[in-house]
A and B are shown apart, each in its own frame.
Chain A
């Protein structure tokens, strides 16, 4: 079974750093782009960016470029999303998702269970 399992909920203070993870199983991790999607409280889905584990090639949405870093460790089938200095406005659920088929331009399937990030003083 193709599966993405994300790390658990986090509560952080403004200015702190954070790295959340997404571990893939049931498929050849290096071959599929992995993406991150933000969902702020009560809001819709926002495409943040994607990474190709095979060579760490990364694409960011302009809205998130410079705000977060997407990385990967293909030796342990895990993708990461990290912040160097969190803001209250980073409070959201963050989903990872795999591309449905090989290739850079396609849909997300499946999705991880989501990681709740809460930033509050």
Chain B
């Protein structure tokens, strides 16, 4: 089973700042088979990024993804108030698919 480790656990930032979230895979077999999701409090997760760097439909261009193999990054260029949420990475390279434990982006 591939373990995804997200860091940091919590990111305290102010609106307008840049957020950089990391997701590291325990094995390098996932290539770019990685997605990022946003979960706001009390809501279902929402797809942001798939294939490591492709933005989902309707996602603002301040969200970007990069990486391949074992190291992946989600960047939010300028935080808007609605971006304060929990972010999860997920691989879909093989079974079982797994999620990272999440990074909470909170208002500083």
Interface residues of A (CB under 8 A from B): 37, 44-47, 59-63, 95, 97, 100, 105-114
In the bound complex, what is the Cα–Cα distance between A37 and B39 (angstroms)? 13
Closest to A50 in B: B97
How would you classify the secondary structure of chain B's contact residues: helix, strand, loop or mixed? loop
With A61-B96, A105-B33, A105-B94 in contact, is A95–B47 under 8 Å at CB? no
With A111-B45, A113-B44 in contact, is A105–B92 under 8 Å at CB? yes
* A62 contacts B44, C-beta separation under 8 Å: no
Would you give 11 A-B contacts (Cβ < 8 Å), ordered by A? A45-B37, A47-B90, A47-B98, A47-B99, A61-B95, A61-B97, A100-B47, A105-B94, A107-B47, A107-B92, A110-B47
**Chain B residues, Cβ within 8 Å of A105:** 33, 92-94
B84-104 to A contact mask, C-beta < 8 Å, 1/0: 001010101111111111100
Closest to A109 in B: B47
B72 within 8 A of A: no
Interface residues of B (CB under 8 A from A): 1, 33, 35, 37, 39, 44-47, 50, 56, 86, 88, 90, 92-102
**Chain B residues, Cβ within 8 Å of A97:** 45
* B45 contacts A47, C-beta separation under 8 Å: no
Closest to B50 in A: A107
**Chain A residues, Cβ within 8 Å of B94:** 105
In the bound complex, what is the Cα–Cα distance between A97 and B99 (angstroms)? 14
Closest to B100 in A: A44
* A62 contacts B102, C-beta separation under 8 Å: no
